[in-house]
Amino acid sequence: MKNGENKKTNNPEFWKSLKEYYNDPEVLKAKANEFADGVTDDFDPSEMSRVSRRKFLALLSASAAFTATACSDYRDKGDVVPYNVRPEGVLPGKANYYASTCSGCSQSCGILVKTREGRPIKIDGNSDHPVNKGKTCAIGQASILNLYDPERLQQPIIDKRKSSWKKADTEIISALKESMAEKKEIALITHQTDSQTEKKVLDDFVAAYPNTKIYTYELFDSGNRYDGWKKAYGVTPLPSIMWDKANVILSLDADFLGNEGNYIEAMRKYSSRRDAVNNASFNRFYIAEAGLSLTGMSADYRFRLSPDLQLEFILSLLNEIVSNDPAMRTKLNSAAFDLIFRNSLEKFAEKSGLDYGKLVNLVIDFKNNAGKSIVYAGDKLSPDVHYAVNLFNYVLGNNNLYDYKSVFTNRLELSDNKDLKNLVESMNNGMVGAVIHYDTNPVYHFPPELDYAAALKNVKTSITLSELPNESIAASYYAVPINHYLESWGDSNPRVGIYSLKQPVVAPIFGTRQKESILLTWIIGKTEAYSEDIYHSYLMENFKDSVYDKTDSAATFNHFWNTALHDGIISIDESARPPVDFDMANINLLKPSTASGGFTVILNKNYYLGDGRFSNNGWLQETPHPVTKVAWDNYASIAPNTAKTLGVEFGDFVRIKVDERNVDLPVVVQPGLIENFVSVELGYGRENSGEVANGVGFNVNVLLQFNGKSKWIINNAEVAKTGESYELVSTQEHHALDDESVKDFHKIRGIIKEGTVSEYKKNPGFIKEHDHELFGITRGHEYNDVKWAMSIDLNKCTSCSACITACNVENNIPVVGKDQVGRGREMHWIRLDRYYSGTPEEPKVSNQPMLCQHCDNAPCENVCPVNATNHSPDGLNQMVYNRCVGTRYCANNCPYKVRRFNFYDFRDHFADAYYQNDLTDLTNNPEVTVRSRGVMEKCTFCVQRIMEARSESIKDGRKLKGSDVQTACQQVCPADAIVFGDVNEEGSEIQKYREHELGYHVLEELYVKPNVTYIAKLRNTHSSEDV
């Protein structure tokens, strides 16, 4: 049946109109058409506009593209903007140096700050300064980053709201005056300072507000040492030690090469007696310590001794010496002799587990070198031990090694524990009207028994002066920002007769003021009294009175002052008082401590963060610990046997409980410690500080205590495993001592070659005995001009990491953060490898700085597919960042694994681009490329310095000499372990080191022909122990 027929006869099931129902043919036709008839009649495609939609869009985008190109002048090379008035002496492109003083720690070394275009970019030592002689430490090097810290306080903050100086000053001055009127105490809490002018400001403050009491504290102070000295010699000033004249050194838990006192000076003097190349007569270094410290790594003999037994140890030694020597016995009075006579060395050896034979050798060494040896006790030991050590040195005549020409000055007297307790009580009783934290952080540092934070809440006016936010700022009502030391005026008097000045190398970047100027404003009492120069003129005046008038200088004061600022140092001949006789009356105060059950805990100062003030500094957080090579955390170091007993491994948590206080810390199993002992470092676990510092590590300050002989040695602690674990990152976890396959491999492969002094004397060529002839089949490079090479003396290197930090600053090395360090991606171009040999209980430690060896036959150069790394005609292996595509074949081939790859653009990867901000970018060295993602980098032997020296030599019209160039690591090494120069130069220093019989190359047999020579370490052990 046809459809149409159907429609004629059948009605549709659904219909829209009656016409449809009745099957009207027109309607049916219309259903088939989309549009009604006639609607599209006017539509004629050929009459439409030429430009269709498609064409229109095409034209539109093309014209937009053309306009965009036209509008931008892509030939434009930017602007070149000179100065309006160029300051005198500033030439953009040439660095300017300013002499100043470092405030990284309390030693106040003299520094030269290198500035480019007005901004400081590197800190070097001031070679005119008699104490540090041109060297700085890791902290000094990295402290420049704190100037450019984006989280610095920029303006005063009142009650957590940003405010202005006018308001802050006015309110604070009225609060101080109010405290005076209400007869309430004003407490000013400060650190010890060696600045005479700062002391004068504090005195003036007390004069202006007589209710002020000044409290001085340090988290790690030398109070015990001064106490012991006072008991022995009265109030004569403390002399420094002539380490270079000592033939035998015994250190009692004293980290004098790494952490205590002026270790830059100590390293220089100590290493002058470990110089094999220049035929120095080696000293013999004994150490008796509980933990393994940096200094302990360099010792010839290590005695593992608990700090409680140190007093008995020194007395037993003294007994052994005087018992057989009537001449020395006369120096002791009878009371002293009776006390000492009770300590038998043999019994002590039994009690402590030390090797009696070695102790006898120690005694013999002392006897043979009486008057030319020294015993030195650590700052943490109690005053008794210091007194006993002073007695020992006196009896042996070692006090001629006390350098009375370089005597420590008296700083602000430390407050007693009693004073601090009284302060807190007054605060709780409402007797304190105002508390000023003068660049201190008591909320973080004070022992928990003071409960300082709660007491602070009872003080109406709490003021904290600080650069960075910290715990005390968070607990204070007023947060007052202060200048970084590179923006400050100041003076420093570290030793008697030595005055070093501090000048601002850059005007304050933010709206901060110098802390002394802030006090001066409050002293005068009016906020308008402040001017940028207020402390400058005060300093000049005080300098005139205290220093200028003492010298018989013919120059005018202005000339004298300008010369002083130019040089940085003024030395006056202020002879210290001659030494007085030893006061033996205090001998009855010596009480040997009773052995404690439980664990002993020692609280150590962190090597790089100080008391915590540098926790926001990424470079320092990332520098691996010199002994454990752990970065970004603190931990509890435990001996291997103890760890086995506790059932803990690397990274497991233990709970350390002392009285009612406890703290959980992850464990590092450290060979060389005594049993039942934990060594921890303070300065971590910050809160309310910067982004880098917050949450890093654990706050161990809860273990600080007032009772006991020493603030930092805690007895009767309980240590137990908690069952949890934590990820600790270490740059060197590999090659544990107990892994048989890698045990001593560094000796087998010839990476570390060592010997003893007596072995060397008998057989000078013993290092090269097993060398064999190496030959190659390819033609080598020819070096007709300069050829750069380096030598590192392993006798002198103590692994202080100043070289690592200096290289970081000089070469714009990024901070990568904890997780990347855990993947082995730290970007340090030079690293310190640490190898153990011996047993886990008595390890021998070997350190080796490892950097790009600039091999003549470099395995990395042949494999680059784009030829981004090749050899220069002066011996360097050069790296061209722009060509590098990131194949990483070169790093694969490098036998020393010194090539670092930028897996991320680390500048924008560390904690959400913390270091990629406009302020921190100012610290970059403009002569060194800032590397981005995907390029390989490595040590370049400071090629920017080589090029600069070359340009200077062309300017002067002379030939380039090897001694014109100092690499950053060489320049900073306090032990002078690194020598760098031109091997083609006749009679150069480097030639001597390269051809020395003790010099060897690492992995020589690979025939890569490295250009870094290592001078083998000689341990000065007794010849009777030679194998």
Q: What is the dihedral of CA 117, 123, 125, 129, to 10 degrees?
A: 70
Q: Name the nearest CA neighbour of 587 among 349, 345, 394, 401.
A: 394
Q: Which pairing describes strands 119-125 and 157-158: parallel, antiparallel, or unpaired?
A: unpaired
Q: Which stretch binds other proteins (CB under 8 A): 74-82, 546-554, 794-802, 841-849?
A: 74-82
Answer yes or no whether residue 878 interacts with other proteins by CB under 8 A. Answer: yes
Return d(Cα 979, Cα 793) in angstroms, integer: 8
Q: What is the torsional sign of CA 475, 478, 483, 489? A: negative
Tell me which of 1, 18, 36, 71 binds other proteins, using CB under 8 A. 71
Nearer to other proteins, 509 or 736 (CB): 509
Return d(Cα 249, Cα 242) in angstroms, integer: 11
Answer yes or no whether residue 503 interacts with other proteins by CB under 8 A. Answer: yes
Answer yes or no whether residue 929 interacts with other proteins by CB under 8 A. Answer: yes
Residue 211 has φ and ψ, to the nearest 5°, of -80, 0
Contact string 118-157 vs other proteins (x = CB under 8 A): xx--------------------------------------
Answer yes or no whether residue 774 interacts with other proteins by CB under 8 A. Answer: no
Q: Name the nearest CA neighbour of 258 among 613, 623, 647, 600.
A: 623
Check if the beta carbon of residue 994 is closer than 8 Å to that of residue 788: no
Answer yes or no whether residue 89 interacts with other proteins by CB under 8 A. Answer: yes
Q: Which stretch binds other proteins (CB under 8 A): 602-610, 715-723, 762-770, 926-934?
A: 926-934
String of b and e for 692-718 (b: at least 16 CB within 10 Å)?
Answer: bbeebbbbbbebbbeeebbbbbbbebe
CB neighbours of 306 closer than 8 A, spacing ≥ 6? Answer: 290, 352, 600, 674, 677
Q: Residue 1008, Cβ neighbours under 10 Å: how many?
A: 22
Q: What is the largest CA-CA distance in the chain?
A: 148
Nearer to other proteins, 26 or 79 (CB): 79
Return d(Cα 64, Cα 504) in angstroms, integer: 53
Answer yes or no whether residue 565 interacts with other proteins by CB under 8 A. Answer: yes
Answer yes or no whether residue 117 interacts with other proteins by CB under 8 A. Answer: yes
Tell me which of 404, 881, 904, 1007 binds other proteins, using CB under 8 A. 881
Tell me which of 83, 581, 986, 1027 binds other proteins, using CB under 8 A. 83
Answer yes or no whether residue 572 interacts with other proteins by CB under 8 A. Answer: no
For the record, the structure tokens of 932 come out as 């981005």
Q: Residue 1004, Cβ neighbours under 10 Å: how many?
A: 14
Tell me which of 882, 912, 986, 1027 binds other proteins, using CB under 8 A. 882
Q: Is 516 helix (H, G, I), strand (E, B) or coil?
A: helix
Return d(Cα 398, Cα 674) in angstroms, integer: 29
Among residue numbers 948 through 977, which ones bind other proteins (CB under 8 A)?
A: 950-951, 954-955, 957
Return d(Cα 359, Cα 367) in angstroms, integer: 12
DSSP lists the bridge partners of residue 686 as: 694
Nearer to other proteins, 749 or 883 (CB): 883
Q: Which stretch binds other proteins (CB under 8 A): 342-350, 438-446, 557-565, 577-585?
A: 557-565
Answer yes or no whether residue 85 interacts with other proteins by CB under 8 A. Answer: yes
Answer yes or no whether residue 280 interacts with other proteins by CB under 8 A. Answer: no
Closest CB 826 distance from other proteins, rounded Å: 23
Q: Which stretch binds other proteins (CB under 8 A): 353-361, 500-508, 587-595, 627-635?
A: 500-508
Tell me which of 31, 162, 421, 566 binds other proteins, using CB under 8 A. 566
Tell me which of 7, 19, 27, 96 binds other proteins, using CB under 8 A. 96
Closest CB 1009 distance from other proteins, rounded Å: 18
Q: Is 108 helix (H, G, I), strand (E, B) or coil?
A: coil
Return d(Cα 364, Cα 385) in angstroms, integer: 22
Closest CB 98 distance from other proteins, rounded Å: 5
Size of the site for other proteins (CB under 8 A): 80
Answer yes or no whether residue 98 interacts with other proteins by CB under 8 A. Answer: yes
DSSP 752-768: S-EEEHHHHHH-TTTTT
Please tell me the number of Cα atoms within 13 Å of 935 on its side-chain side: 17
Nearer to other proteins, 52 or 645 (CB): 52
Nearer to other proteins, 122 or 1022 (CB): 122
Closest CB 409 distance from other proteins, rounded Å: 25
Closest CB 150 distance from other proteins, rounded Å: 11
Angle at 445 between CA 444 and CA 448, to 5 degrees: 85
Return d(Cα 233, Cα 221) in angstroms, integer: 20
Length of the chain, in residues? 1027
Nearer to other proteins, 257 or 486 (CB): 486
Q: How far is C-alpha 595 from the geometric centre of its chain's CA atoms?
A: 36
Nearer to other proteins, 54 or 418 (CB): 54
Closest CB 923 distance from other proteins, rounded Å: 12
Please tell me the number of Cα atoms within 13 Å of 572 on its side-chain side: 18
Closest CB 504 distance from other proteins, rounded Å: 4
Answer yes or no whether residue 47 interacts with other proteins by CB under 8 A. Answer: no
Nearer to other proteins, 567 or 997 (CB): 567
Tell me which of 145, 294, 414, 505 binds other proteins, using CB under 8 A. 505
Check if the beta carbon of residue 631 is closer than 8 Å to that of residue 621: yes
Return d(Cα 400, Cα 490) in angstroms, integer: 34
Nearer to other proteins, 185 or 937 (CB): 937
Return d(Cα 594, Cα 999) in angstroms, integer: 49
Answer yes or no whether residue 78 interacts with other proteins by CB under 8 A. Answer: yes
Closest CB 690 distance from other proteins, rounded Å: 18
Among residue numbers 900 through 919, which ones bind other proteins (CB under 8 A)?
A: 918-919
Nearer to other proteins, 320 or 927 (CB): 927
Q: What is the torsional sign of CA 361, 362, 365, 366? A: negative
Q: Which pairing describes strands 284-289 and 248-252: parallel, antiparallel, or unpaired?
A: parallel
Nearer to other proteins, 208 or 880 (CB): 880
Among residue numbers 506 through 545, which ones bind other proteins (CB under 8 A)?
A: 506-510, 533, 536
Nearer to other proteins, 435 or 539 (CB): 539
Answer yes or no whether residue 49 interacts with other proteins by CB under 8 A. Answer: no
Q: Which stretch binds other proteins (CB under 8 A): 23-31, 117-125, 849-857, 1001-1009?
A: 117-125
Nearer to other proteins, 48 or 71 (CB): 71
Return d(Cα 590, Cα 498) in angstroms, integer: 36
Tell me which of 409, 694, 870, 887 binds other proteins, using CB under 8 A. 870
Closest CB 255 distance from other proteins, rounded Å: 34
For the record, the structure tokens of 438 come out as 């003068």
